[in-house]
Amino acid sequence: MKHHTAYIRIHTSMRYDIVNITGKVEEELRKSGIKEGLCLVNSMHITSSVFINDNERGLHKDFLAWVEKLAPYDVNGYMHNLTGEDNGDAHLKRTIMGREVVVAVTDGRLDFGPWECIFYGEFDGQRDKRILVKIIGE
């Protein structure tokens, strides 16, 4: 069995953002040479997410508005922020949007359903973050 591990580095200019990372994951799949297997992609940070959905800007704004409604930014609104941090909302948003995705690799390609793309959801950005890509197969 072959395996390939890579770390995608990301630094968003905004505190909250959704970034399409499909191309970067496909690049790692090409490098791996793996034709049949599984591709795991996960955020390595507890204030950001990796998820699969539609590449449509309006929907991305809907996601950000939705998680803001569920867990609004509020410096004084979370027990977690008593530690001196201000990102209690970001931990909750990350949990709602998910940590990782696994995509089947078939014939050397990410075997997506129609319109599926992989996104990185940032909820406490403007600093260096990493995304793990682990591909196994043959």
Where does this chain bind Zn ion (CB under 5 A)?
A: 85, 87
Residue (1 or 79) nearer to Zn ion, CB:
79
Shortest distance, CB of residue 59 to Zn ion, whole angstroms?
27
Residue 82: CB minimum distance to Zn ion, A: 11
Pairing outcome for strands 37-43 and 48-54: unpaired
Q: Which is nearer to Zn ion, 1 or 82 (CB)?
A: 82
> What is the Cα–Cα distance from 95 to 42, expressed in whole angstroms?
13
- Single-letter amino acid code for the residue at 50: V
Task: Output 65 or 82, the one with its CB closest to Zn ion.
Answer: 82
State the alpha helices, DSSP H only, in the chain.
22-32, 57-70, 88-97
Taking the complex as a whole, how short is the minimal distance between the CB of residue 74 and Zn ion, in angstroms? 13
Tell me which residue of 19, 36, 10 sits closest to 135, measured CA to CA: 36
